[in-house]
A and B are shown apart, each in its own frame.
Chain A
């Protein structure tokens, strides 16, 4: 068992890999009523193809990881949510690009809730009727997102940035793709990915470490680290962006423009990935943050408003930056932003950089307040081989040179994808 105390942030941390292969993290929080556990399965919407131990290729329809998440909530005993409700706990789940997460919050029966969590995630029941029912529920969900301009601008941009990589597809799939999902596919998908060695458990709250680890060893004492052998396959993604400009219309009050930049240096080195994530977000903050001149120039010219936003998302194998603005002068906003992005090299300075770093440190402390934010960050960073509680060290270690290098890599005179959402009737 690994134990760490992070004096600087007053946090403790236990980590252990069990015989069954399950990796467990506990962050004790004695002062809180709430206890939170999240079980993260290392499979997400981008995992559509694998090669098994006999070199056989398995291909799955888009949206299957999300469909699985829905299906596990329905097993033989009926509604899982009801079971948790009985003991006053609440359970939920979400599917991301690279993992599927099942979590609960409770203020009393922690171990009963934990038992329920493993029971439903590990004991599926792929009933034909339920599959059909879930298809109609998910179709409604897909439709709901279709009407969201924010969501549209996000996925349209991904579709413009990527040729092949499945991050470009809607996490829930499409009505057409989920129609192909059946019992056999679900069972096969489950057998491959839903193995304890392919999962992490993160617990936050007033829980004793000895009790937790003993309970878990005991529960899975019959299971050896089976380590099902397979290789995830992803299409190779060409460099450069697929589509420079896309124009669509929706029922909105004013047009939206989103600009995207694609990361072409996708390191395998985990620490580098995290640095890339932080430096790019810091660059965007230095360029477009509210403390800087550019933001106010754009704002005062009415080219952007309070909805202006930017971020860089670094996932396994992919990374992209997105800038989002609502504006009535689409082309002018675009031009001005490009000017800023392409001419920044002369202005990069260490004073701005130190301020942005401090801002990151503040943001980091805030993120420790919420169990849900903390657990999702812990998982994100563990998947990249790092401990989130130790990240403050990486933040402090970033140098101005890293900023300059990454700026040239991703922004300076690089290809840009553009998605414009106009008003219907415009």
Chain B
């Protein structure tokens, strides 16, 4: 029997969508809040990206980063995370805090409620100076992001993946880097950022999650409903993604860097996203092609031919994209490309072993079941469902995967289109 717990859904008086999952599986309680913005135009993306990193520097109640850290220490080393992420053409401003379960401490007041309060202070009561964020903190946020943007290049694999997305979706909003651009950051500083943030807080969907051993969901709901007082009138949609399926451009690019191992990434368009009837067949397709070690690409390119140290595929299920990503010796590039085309073709023709589809399904089911054992994954998966307007239960997902037919996988295979090849190879050339 599947051991899983469900989210209870609430809406607070100030239009926060609140999801509470009461489970005694974990040693900690996890509180997570996403502000969802459309991913569009360089300047706005950069502004949005700046905000969490400004807020993180100080709030009215905890005016310095040091006082924030001290507060976290008081909460038994609570784990605070702020970040920015992209899901489809949506930009998420993410804030979370994880605290020990109240069961394990002999304290009078609930650590969970203290955590909830802390998150409110951080997000809704920023430190201000002359009606804007404190300039020093804006600069800190700016420096931090600038460095992050520049250092993407240090992590070659992430760099290659990002470049491949950019080329695959050239001209579309998805090609905007989640953390913004140097130029966009410079532009953002001309405006009053706090004014902008007020609009963000007023009009954007806010999705909030509490998962852990909280005894009473209603009690937590009421607590948040009372304490999260910021007045909001929700205007924007939760999903802003435009899916392109026609007139796809094909591109092939090579860049050089001071590296010893080449890295490449192939970009594929998939006209199937989470709410599509063939979505589960797509998950199976991805697994069969390159998601697992028994998959076509891994078993041929790494195991049989020893042409790569790693090769895998990944799905972006909100925008409808798939990437094939590998680390190879540059002299093998053409062979690897040929094998990829060959394998895509085999999938189209239904030329695959029955074991591949069976094992893939089993592995996927194993993965989905395990997902419910991790509090962060539960929240992440649930949020993707919300964005795509499809809140499938874990049982439904597992059953749907079980029922995927060979013909459906072939249907998927005939709808995907590889349009982009990107290679980063050894050399001295800048870019």
Contact = CB atoms under 8 A, between A and B. Distances in A.
B27 A369 contact: yes
A220 B27 CA distance: 36
B258 A365 contact: no
Interface in B57-79: 64-66, 69-70, 72-79
B332 to A, nearest CB: 10
Contacts of A251: 153, 257-259
A33 B370 contact: yes
Interface string B147-177: 1001101111000000000000000000000
Contacts of A34: 369-370, 373
B154 A149 contact: yes
Given A85-B292, A133-B306, A147-B156, A365 B104 contact: yes
Contact of B104 (A9, A293, A359): A9
Contact of A33 (B24, B64, B369): B369
Given A86-B359, A146-B260, A370-B374, A365 B24 contact: no
A31 B3 contact: yes
Interface string A88-125: 11100000000000000111100000000000000000
A306 B66 CA distance: 13
A365 B79 CA distance: 11
Contacts of B261: 140, 143-144, 146-147
B365 A365 contact: no
Interface string B339-365: 000000000000000010011111101
B28 A290 contact: no
Nearest to A133: B306
B289 interface: no
A88 B257 contact: no
B193 to A, nearest CB: 20
Contact of B293 (A81, A148, A355): A81
Contacts of A106: 366
A140 B331 CA distance: 13
A34 B375 CA distance: 13
Given A9-B104, A355-B73, A254 B150 contact: yes
B414 interface: no
A366 B27 contact: yes
A360 interface: yes
Interface in A244-263: 250-254
B303 A359 contact: no
A9 B79 CA distance: 19
B258 A250 contact: yes
B223 interface: no
A358 B327 contact: no
A289 B73 CA distance: 10
A136 B369 contact: no
B363 A306 contact: no
A283 B70 CA distance: 16
Contacts of B374: 369-370
Given A362-B78, A365-B104, A89 B366 contact: yes
A292 B329 CA distance: 46
A313 interface: no
A425 to B, nearest CB: 9
B41 to A, nearest CB: 25
- Chain B contact-residue range equals 35 or more
Interface string A16-58: 0000000000000001111000000000000000000000000
B294 A136 contact: no
Interface in B295-345: 299, 302-303, 306, 308-310, 327-329
A33 B373 contact: yes
A107 B369 contact: yes
A362 B27 CA distance: 10
Nearest to B103: A10
- Which of A82, A105, A326 is the most central at the interface, judged by chain B CB atoms within 10 Å of its CB? A82
Contacts of A90: 363, 366
Interface in A387-419: none
Contacts of B329: 140
Contact of B306 (A31, A136, A293): A136
A360 B101 CA distance: 15
Given A149-B154, A365-B100, A366-B28, A137 B309 contact: yes
A82 B294 contact: yes
Contacts of B260: 143, 146-147
Contacts of B3: 31-33
Interface in B1-44: 2-4, 24-28
A268 interface: no
Contacts of B308: 140
A108 to B, nearest CB: 7
A371 B27 CA distance: 12
A148 B258 CA distance: 11
Contacts of B70: 291, 355
Nearest to B75: A362
A87 interface: yes
Given A81-B294, A361-B76, A424-B258, A88 B327 contact: no
A295 B73 CA distance: 15
A89 B367 CA distance: 9
B225 interface: no
A10 B309 CA distance: 42
17 contacts: A9-B27, A33-B3, A33-B370, A33-B373, A85-B362, A88-B363, A106-B366, A137-B302, A140-B261, A144-B309, A290-B66, A291-B70, A360-B77, A363-B77, A365-B100, A365-B104, A366-B100
Given A88-B361, A106-B366, 10 more contacts: A86-B362, A136-B306, A137-B309, A140-B261, A148-B156, A250-B258, A254-B151, A291-B73, A305-B147, A369-B27
Nearest first, the 8 A-B pairs at minimum CB distance are: A88-B362, A362-B77, A359-B77, A251-B258, A140-B309, A362-B76, A290-B69, A107-B369
Interface of A: 8-10, 31-34, 79, 81-82, 85-90, 105-108, 133, 136-137, 140-141, 143-144, 146-149, 250-254, 289-293, 295-296, 299, 302, 305-307, 326, 355-356, 358-363, 365-366, 368-371, 424
